[in-house]
Chain A
Amino acid sequence: MIVYLYEVVALACIFAIASMSLNLVLGRAGLFSLAHGVLLGIGAYIYGLLTTQAGVSPAVGVVAAVVGTAVLGAALAAVSVHLDEEQFAVTTLAFNLLVVIVLTNWASLTRGAYGVAQIPRLSIGDADPQLMLLLAALLLAALTFVAFRALAKSGFGQLLVASASDPDMVRALGGPVWSLRVRAFAIGSAGAGLAGALFAMQAGYIAPPLFELHLSVLILAMVILGGTRSVGGAVLGAVVLIGIPEALRFAAFNAVSAGPLRQIVFGLLIIVTIYVRLHSKTSRA
């Protein structure tokens, strides 16, 4: 029971890291990304493959996952941040689908549909590995919170908000909107990569279906639920959306129906949250 609690808390921390990083991309930079789940997946694969296939140590694996995901994210952003909002969303959605296809089919690199198993965790001496992971996740989530809070309040964060609201105005004042956005997306991707590495440790086994579109939608739901403007809200969104399905699991839903049912809950939550937010906005005005 206590181990199970450890797992749930660690998972909530991992997704809090993911949603805080998407919060920068969406809430500050205004970039509606539907690739965040698959960026997390890329981080998980980099960590999983390096530690199991290339004999890299877990610590180095985490760093590689962060850096590698940031680089791939920057590449995606470089060709897409100039698009209008919806086109950007579709492009990131397409990227999500493409990466899953590659993970499934490029078996010589990714082990294909078999997935990557026996992924090692960070360990120090002979401490309980699940407890270690919990502590690492808590610590990293706290650090991420501090970092992203500082970033949101910084001049960079203000410029991102301004370029999301009126890019032409920012350019006319000398702001390099394209590079601001690419940087924001790369930083957000680094967060996703970190969450991915931790996710791979927690799960111990990863396979392509884990990172299909629904994961991006789940992280998006966390950010929207928490309110796109607040980093703390992103944490709250992650805690609620990890917590609800875990509670549902206790309410005796069998394993088969828990999957779709969970998705239905997320889908409805997205619709209702947007509806309620718009409603309160219009009734205030």
Chain B
Amino acid sequence: MTAASGSARGGVEIRRLHKSFGGVRAVWDVSFTVPAGKTVGLIGPNGSGKTTLLNLLAGYYKPDAGEILYGGTDLAGLPPERIARAGVVRTWQDPRIVPDLTVAENVAIGALARGAGMPNDAARRALLAESGLTAVADTPAGSLPYGQQKLVAIARSLAASPAVLLLDEPLAGLSAFERQHVVALIQQFRTTGTVLLVDHAFGVIAQLCDHVVVLNTGTKLTEGPPGVISKDPSVIEVYFG
């Protein structure tokens, strides 16, 4: 790594990112910045390219063109494990937990995978408590309901102690009670870290985000503070028009 990555708690700058699948322009010439320590919302109708953008940031896809600057490094095209070890960690729309491992073991994967070793007991218990998972810590994660599995997945990504957290629809499919836990987790994380939050629940986006980027059919429609975006007629148009 380079000296530039010393600013580990840095923001992410996306410059003119492109990705097509065959003829489908999933992400087309998208640029925006997630400033260090801020929470940015990424919204857009179904199929607008939000997940693809996250896949590009996390190294799951290689961009056709464009740069992803993070602490002075271009992450574009790096393998996912390198990106994660540099501090950029993601979640998925699906929980993607390991069904046979217990909840506590699943959460520990986050720390183990980046080579941090087994987390100590106190840290582990604190994280489980904050996620509301203490009672089920020793249950196989596969036997939990969907919403709790998603909580496990978010706790797992937090256990990786990321600098930047990329969350893909963390609230979708959750009960009101589970949502509270997720919102609390994000709120606590954003006091020290940077977040890119993809979701359809605009209420929560408005509550958590400093800034919102709107995608439509792979391109950036507009961006701005949540209060402005919620009144933007073009945004209302693509969502409801």
Contacts and interface: CB of A to CB of B under 8 A. Distances in A.
B38 interface: no
Interface stretch (B105-113, B198-206, B217-225): B105-113
Given A171-B84, A172-B84, A165 B156 contact: no
A162 B85 contact: no
Looking at chain A, what size class is its interface with the partner chain? 10 to 19
Interface in A134-189: 154-155, 158-159, 161-162, 165-166, 168-177
B112 to A, nearest CB: 4
A160 to B, nearest CB: 10
Interface in B93-115: 96, 98-101, 105-106, 108-110, 112-115
B89 interface: yes
B173 interface: no
A162 B98 contact: yes
A173 B101 contact: no
Contacts of A169: 92, 96
A172 B100 contact: no
Contacts of B65: none
Contacts of A165: 98-100
B84 A174 contact: yes
Which bracket fits the contact residues of B? 20 to 34
B80 A155 contact: no
Given A155-B118, A168-B80, A175 B112 contact: yes
Nearest to A165: B98
A173 B156 contact: yes
Contact of B101 (A162, A171, A176): A162
Interface string A251-272: 0000000000000000000000
Contact of A158 (B58, B60, B101): B101
B213 interface: no
Given A158-B112, A168-B80, 14 more contacts: A158-B109, A159-B112, A161-B101, A162-B101, A162-B113, A166-B96, A169-B92, A171-B79, A171-B80, A171-B81, A172-B81, A173-B156, A173-B157, A175-B113
28 contacts: A158-B105, A158-B108, A158-B109, A158-B112, A161-B100, A161-B101, A162-B101, A162-B109, A165-B100, A166-B98, A168-B60, A170-B109, A171-B81, A172-B58, A172-B60, A173-B84, A173-B89, A173-B113, A173-B114, A173-B156, A174-B81, A174-B113, A174-B114, A174-B160, A175-B109, A176-B81, A177-B81, A229-B100
Interface of B: 58-60, 79-81, 84-85, 89-90, 92, 96, 98-101, 105-106, 108-110, 112-115, 117-118, 156-157, 160
Interface of A: 154-155, 158-159, 161-162, 165-166, 168-177, 229
